[in-house]
Amino acid sequence: MTNPQALPRGTQPEGAKSQDEASRQVREMFTRIAPRYDLLNHLLSMQMDRLWRARTSRELRPILWRPDTVVLDLCCGTGDLAFALRHGAKSHIIGADFSHTMLVRAREKAVAANDASPIPFLEADALRLPFPDRSFDLVTSAFGFRNLANYEDGLKEIFRVLKREGTIGILEFAEAPPGILRDAYRFYTRSVLPKIGAWISGDREAYAYLPRSVSRFFRPEEFAAVLERVGYAQVRYHLMTLGSVALHLAVRP
Ligand SMILES: C[S@@+](CC[C@H](N)C(=O)[O-])C[C@H]1O[C@@H](n2cnc3c(N)ncnc32)[C@H](O)[C@@H]1O
């Protein structure tokens, strides 16, 4: 059993002394790396990020393909999960993020896709969403949730905006179980990835933050327990790529 005191409350970038400071640092960091974000995402994950989002979209298809489903993709960044969810689906999807520069890139991609009804991308903080209670059938987030300054508050805010029987789907990195694979993963994420990230983005701190934030985040079974504690039902998760990524699913009763 994990000691609840030992669990992380929220992300903690180096030197951040309060939740507001942590949020501000995260927003500034993503704003700085936005121009190279997509390139580095695909390069550093060896294109696996596309598969993880596609698998998420497939898992959620029964919800996405209902005609009047309303979806919020939180921490949408440059929009890649929102675009993957949209793929062939009939639902109405909105993307939200608190980094203006990431959203500018998402909007450019939406325009380039020449879609008859482009996905709207709007600026919002995941901890203070500008939506009424029970607005969405599905709330998703890919690789964004881990960066929130308070995880329980984030889950409660998502709970608030979900309709009854609405689904939460969170795709996040996880550390593989102890063993040679985890050692290889740690070597890659701690020694190789920050160097390539720093070299291409020019931002050493941002790509050193990534592995630190992953190893501080919950293990999948811990996160499942937090979802249950906040009040979600039907909590489950699927591991991908040797346990390095987890898709967490649950329902607001
Ligand atoms: C690693 S990126 C993920 C982007 C996208 N979902 C993807 O799959 O590529 C994390 C995103 O979360 C956003 N973010 C972090 N904390 C946030 C918050 N409190 N509210 C809104 N967006 C947040 C950042 O601005 C950044 O764009």
Q: How does pLDDT run across 163-177, given as a tens digit for each residue?
A: 999 999 999 999 877
Rounded Cα–Cα distance for residues 108 and 77 (Å)? 12
**Residue 171 β-bridge partners:** 142, 247
The ligand 1 atom nearest the CA atom of 127: 19
| CA of 179 relative to ligand 1 center, distance in Å | 30
| CA of 188 relative to ligand 1 center, distance in Å | 23
| Cβ atoms 9, 152 nearer than 8 A | yes
| CA of 99 relative to ligand 1 center, distance in Å | 8
Q: What is the pLDDT of residue 164?
A: 98
| CA of 77 relative to ligand 1 center, distance in Å | 5
Ligand 1 pocket mutation, candidates 75, 119, 125, 153, criterion most atoms within 8 A of CB: 75
Phi-psi region at 42: left, alpha or beta (left = phi > 0; alpha = psi -120 to 50): alpha
pTM: 0.94
Q: What is the pLDDT of residue 2?
A: 56
Q: What is the pLDDT of residue 44?
A: 81
Q: How does pLDDT run across 34-80, given as a tens digit for each residue?
A: 988 888 888 887 888 999 999 999 999 999 999 889 999 999 999 99
pLDDT bucket at 1, cuts 50 / 70 / 90: very low
Q: What is the pLDDT of residue 210?
A: 86
Ligand 1, CB within 6 Å, residue ranges: 23, 26-27, 30, 41, 75-77, 80-81, 97-99, 102, 125-127, 142-144, 147-148
Q: How does pLDDT run across 107-165, given as a tens digit for each residue?
A: 999 988 887 788 999 999 999 999 999 999 999 999 999 999 999 999 999 999 999 99
Residue 61 token pair = 């298809």
| CA of 144 relative to ligand 1 center, distance in Å | 4
